[in-house]
A and B are shown apart, each in its own frame.
Chain A
């Protein structure tokens, strides 16, 4: 089977894997640098809110996991012909609502986990209420923004004859960290303002 051998040769060649995956990886990396720039602007807040730094990788990770699975489910749904219009569509609403519910539950869990873990290790924590507030605000608001982006990209790509599976998840992966970090920043600002936290 010469065709199969050809395909396998390409499938296994280092060169073709690098050529296909590298450009996207570089775009993602630059996206990550923007997230890093927002994090470094938060140096003062990190000192003011002990425990904030514990939350950062956890919220970023949760956000990535939830919105990428949403993107890939939406891709499957649109391929199955379940999503053809935006308004009054139960499949679409359930997918977004399911993701947001998961974000809410996991944000509360993350806030509590971060507090308990920090205290258990004998380090200072700002308190469970503040950490849960930051996690919920950042987790749910970034989840909402990314859900809207996921829906728009998925439907837009499909209408233009592009496979959403190839576009939605990479786009969410790149935008996700920046938007989530921005929301953590806003949440920390809000919390400092509401509870008048001073270092």
Chain B
């Protein structure tokens, strides 16, 4: 008898994937609703996949680290130094990634012959990135602590949920940033 079976993998995977599917189709609807804006400013289409990735990745790093810290019993109250330093570190990683991302998207836009002002793109990326990280990190800390408190392994719960929530928040954040910048 094999250790891994097809039915076992399918059974364990389906519930989490279904929840993630519903959340990410909602994210898709938001994209669809903003389709006109995206087709008018196609540079936003280049920006969205990597930006939601940065949010999901930094959230996942934070989630995985908090999960391990919770398992190790290293986390005192929520305001403790472990939580604070992990959040700070992920913010630094996210902000540097956003700056690099804006340059990469700008270069890609030029190569594709899309007109874009770099200053505007940097502003949109930073505003969207900050909105996304604040919301995603708050959700990550909340989900990690709540799942730990209720005896669920945060490793199983945090990452799929955070990447899906990151999709929605990231897309809304890009629209908000584009609206703020004008």
Q: A residues near B, CB below 8 A? A: 8, 11-14, 17-18, 21-22, 25-26, 28-33, 35-37, 39-41, 43, 46-47, 51, 53-58, 60-62, 64-66, 69, 73, 77, 80, 82, 90-91, 94-95, 97-99, 101-102, 105-106, 109-110, 113-114, 117-118, 121, 123, 173, 177, 181
Contact = CB atoms under 8 A, between A and B. Distances in A.
A15 B22 CA distance: 37
Interface in B40-72: 42-43, 45-54, 57-58, 61, 65
Contacts, number: 210
Contacts of B105: 33, 36
A177 B49 contact: yes
Contact of A17 (B89, B100, B112): B89
A131 to B, nearest CB: 11
Given A33-B50, A40-B46, A113-B21, A121 B6 contact: no
Interface of A is mostly: helix
Interface SS of chain B: helix, strand, loop or mixed? Answer: helix
Contacts of A80: 3
Contact of B13 (A14, A90, A102): A102
A194 to B, nearest CB: 23
Contacts of A114: 25, 28
A65 B2 contact: no
Given A36-B45, A39-B46, A56-B28, A62 B108 contact: no
